[in-house]
Amino acid sequence: MPSLSLTTLDHVPMVQSGDDLSAVLLTALEEQGLTLQPDDTLVLAQKIVSKAEGCIRNLEDITPSAQAVELGQETAKDPRLVQAILDESTEVVRKRKGVLVVRHKNGWVMAQAGIDQSNVEGAHKGNILLLPKDPDGSATKLRTALEERTGVAPAIVIADSFGRPFRNGTTGIAIGAAGLESFTDIRGETDLFGRELKVSTVAHADEIASTASLLMGQGSEATPVVLIRGLARSPHLPAKALIRPIEDDLFR
C-alpha cells in the first residue's frame, strides 16, 4: 500500500546569517536518531533559508520614494516597508487598505513580495526578512551539499505560505525545489475507463509544501523543517515551472 510518513525535525536551532544549512540539518537529523535516505524529501520553511542567506534589510536604512509614500497611505502600510516591497517587485497587482499584492521579481504573485516581520530577530528594531534571491538555486545547492557530506541526495522543497484569490487562508507553496518534479503533466494518460485525461497537470511541489505546512505551524511552534518519507522520486523540474507565464494569466 502506498504510504507516506512525515516527521518534524525538533532540534533545528535559530538559524543565523551565514549558517551552513546542510550542517544544521544533518546535526538535527542525528540528534533525532534519523539518517538520510535516498528517497527522503526535506521541506524547509523559507524563513530559515532567507536567514541563512542573510536576506535581511532594516527599515531604518530605507528612504521611501514618492510612489511608496502614496502607496503606503492607500494600503495603510509603513512607506519604508512599501519601498522594500516595490524594490522586490516588477508590478503592483492589487492594492487596498491592508493589502498589497505584487508580482515579485521572480514571478510569484503574492502579498507584500513575501517580506516578513514575524519570527524575525530584531523585527522590533526594524529588521525585515526578504525571500531568498534564487530559491531553486538554494535548494539545488543544499541538495548537493547534503550529497557531498553523506552520499545521499534527498529532494528539497523550500516552502512559503501564500494567500490566494477566491479562497480564505494561506496554503504552503513551493518557491524552490531540487531533486523532484515540481509540476507533473499527466495529460495523455488514460483514466480508469481508458478515456484520455484532458487537463491533468498537478502542482506536485506545492502539494508537498502544503503537506509540510500541516506540521510546521505558523506561530511560535518553531518547526521549520519537515522530513517526508515515501514520496515517489521523479525527474527534476524546478519550482519556477509552477509560475504561470504572464501571457497565460487570466487574472492579472
Stretch that binds a copy of itself, among 21-29, 80-88, 143-151, 169-177 (CB under 8 A): 169-177
Nearer to a copy of itself, 132 or 172 (CB): 172
Q: Interaction with a copy of itself in 44-83: which residues (CB under 8 A)?
A: none
The answer for residues whose C-beta is within 8 angstroms of residue 128's C-beta and 6 or more apart is: 56, 57, 58, 59, 81, 84, 115, 116, 117, 120
Q: What's the grid cell of residue 252?
A: 492579472
CA distance 76 to 126: 17
What does each C-alpha distance from 229 to 62, 109, 110, 162 come to in angstroms? 44, 30, 30, 25
Nearer to a copy of itself, 104 or 143 (CB): 104
User: Is-contact 223 8, C-beta < 8 A?
Assistant: yes
Residue of 60, 61, 235, 250 interacting with a copy of itself (CB under 8 A): 250
Does 125 interact with a copy of itself (rule: CB under 8 A)? Answer: no
Distance of CA 173 to the CA centre of its chain: 6
Residue of 61, 63, 66, 193 interacting with a copy of itself (CB under 8 A): 193
Q: Interaction with a copy of itself in 145-164: which residues (CB under 8 A)?
A: 161, 163-164
What's the closest the beta carbon of residue 148 comes to a copy of itself, in angstroms? 27
Q: What's the grid cell of residue 122?
A: 530584531
Does 235 interact with a copy of itself (rule: CB under 8 A)? Answer: no
Nearer to a copy of itself, 133 or 244 (CB): 244
